[in-house]
Amino acid sequence: MGAPSTEDGGKNARLRALPSIEQLLRRPSLEARLAGVPRARAVAALRLAVASVRERLLQGEERTFEDADVDEALRALSTPNLRPVFNATGVVLHTNLGRAPLALEAVARVASVARGFCNLEYDLEEGERGSRYAPVVELLTQLTGAEDALVVNNCAGAALLMLAALASGREAIVSRGELVEIGGGFRVPDVMKQSGARLVEVGTTNRTRRSDYESALTPDTGVLMKVHRSNFALVGFTAEVEVKELAVLGRARGVPVLVDLGSGALVSPPGEDFVHEPTVPATVAAGADVVAFSGDKLLGGPQAGLLVGRAALLARLRQHPLTRALRVDKMTVAALEATLELYRDGCLEAIPTYRLLTTPAPVLEARARRLLSLLALKGIHARVAPVSGQVGGGAMPAARLPSFACVLNFNQPAAFLECLRKADVPVIGRISDGDVVLDVRCLAEEDLEPVAEAVAMASQGRQPC
Ligand SMILES: *Cc1c(COP(=O)(O)O)cnc(C)c1O
């Protein structure tokens, strides 16, 4: 073959010299590393290691295959793709970071029903088939004041279901100011189309009056619908018809009023940020016939779409085929029941979302100072600064959520954040005005030390970035 190594710098020779998986499995020096590793995982790790070295050779690196290359592959295979992170973004309900963290009580309940059998659809008193929603219906009706309740996969599904069951083939009247896009492809006009309802827009972007709804009502009207604007605010020269007024109109004309409330707080946390956020019980009390809301936004439970309202309408929803298609599993029912019990028992502080949203500023400042001193001990210079967080999850866009952060000045903040994401438990921060900002609102006390350690590792380039 001549001497190709002189022409390609030895690249081909090095590629040919890569060991086979069989050879590696027999290599005595790898025995200790692979001891106790199931054979299939060992083979997968060796393949991964060889592939990664091949890739680096092709990119021009001059190296050989080392036993240590297997370590990285073994680590990669034993690290789950979905895993915990530290949320230093200051966004409480971060859709990218799993939205609401569950209460310990909810986690324990999930674990207790998930590992064995449970009475998900079994009535223990009668010894016959029961309803999977039964465990939460009473809690939901008690907590919201509604007659009946139903649970589906998420609020997008809940909105689709109520429209499909109550307005398919008929008209659904919605204000132009509420034809929102929630994110993740949820656009009210598109959901409407999917449901088979015909959208009738009334009013203008900024102002809709009762008379707009009134004159759009026809014998073909199926529902009047209100959509919580959720992720944007309408300010200035505006007018909208409150649920209460719409309910009066709906009742007079025999047309149900549906409300897609989205964020769905069961109680209003203290603080001026929350004053204007409608709660589910207030919406029910105002006369809404069906209210749809999320389980994992302000409620702070598992992902779910909750529907509460009049018994006769909920009965129609329950019979619709979409209810089966959107049904929740036992883990959701378990987590939801445990979360709703905390509301019933008045243990709001046990619900992480509530706790995170209501942490007083002095507590946050003290926490930021503790992180600052942990960083100082590791030789990292930072400063504590007041910052604004967000509720997130498409809820309460105008809320400022005053918080505190450790602010770090690095030459390449984006590269530094990338390093932080490679920590054993990734740390997710943000950049503001060219600085790295670590908001402490969503960090627990016990998170501060590992976060400080990750920052130290990243800043000393000890993290493989
Ligand atoms: C967030 C939101 C939804 C979607 O809720 P998911 O639980 O994410 O499916 C629907 N409608 C409104 C008004 C929302 O705010």
Please list the rounded mean pLDDT of every run of 10 residues in the chain (465 residues). 60 93 95 94 97 95 93 93 97 96 98 96 95 95 98 97 98 96 87 96 96 97 95 89 97 98 92 88 98 97 98 98 97 98 98 96 98 97 95 83 95 94 95 96 98 94 57
Nearest residue (by CA) to ligand 1, atom 11, is 262
Tell me which of 97, 192, 226, 260 to substitute to probe ligand 1's pocket, judged by most ligand atoms within 8 Å of the beta carbon: 260
Structure tokens of 358? Answer: 């209501």
Pocket of ligand 1 from Cβ distances under 6 Å:
154-156, 159, 182, 186, 227-228, 230, 260, 262-263, 294, 305, 394
Nearest residue (by CA) to ligand 1, atom 5, is 155
State the pLDDT at residue 413. Answer: 94
How far apart (Å, rounded) are the C-alpha atoms in residues 68 and 55? 16
Structure tokens of 457? Answer: 């590792």
CB atoms within 10 A of CB 104: 11
- What's the pTM? 0.93
Decide the pairing of beta strands 427-428 and 305-309. Answer: unpaired
Tell me which of 230, 283, 290, 303 to substitute to probe ligand 1's pocket, judged by most ligand atoms within 8 Å of the beta carbon: 230
Name the helix (H) or strand (E) containing 71.
Answer: helix 68-78
State the pLDDT at residue 1. Answer: 45
Nearest residue (by CA) to ligand 1, atom 15, is 262
State the closest ligand 1 atom to the C-alpha of 260, by its place in the atom list counted from 1.
13
User: Ligand 1 centroid to 397 CA: how many Å?
Assistant: 14
Q: Which CATH architecture group holds 104-350?
A: 3-Layer(aba) Sandwich (3.40)
pLDDT tens readout for residues 287-300: 999 999 999 999 99
Return the CATH number of 86-95+355-459, one of 3.30.2230.10, 3.10.105.10, 3.90.1150.180, 3.40.50.10490.
3.90.1150.180
Task: Report residue 291: phi and psi, to 5°.
Answer: -120, 130
Structure tokens of 361? Answer: 């500023």
State the pLDDT at residue 160. Answer: 97
Nearest residue (by CA) to ligand 1, atom 2, is 262
State the closest ligand 1 atom to the C-alpha of 295, by its place in the atom list counted from 1.
7
Structure tokens of 332? Answer: 């959701």
State the pLDDT at residue 389. Answer: 87
Nearest residue (by CA) to ligand 1, atom 1, is 262
Residue ranges per structural domain of the chain: 6-78, 86-95+355-459, 104-350
State the pLDDT at residue 2. Answer: 45
Task: Report residue 240: phi and psi, to 5°.
Answer: -140, 160
Cβ–Cβ under 8 Å, residues 389 and 92: yes
State the pLDDT at residue 182. Answer: 85
Of the candidates 19, 65, 26, 66, the one whose C-alpha atom is nearest the C-alpha of residue 42 is 26
| CB neighbour class for 291 (10 Å; exposed up to 12, middle 13-18, buried from 19) | buried
CB atoms within 10 A of CB 1: 7
Same fold, 86-95+355-459 and 104-350: no
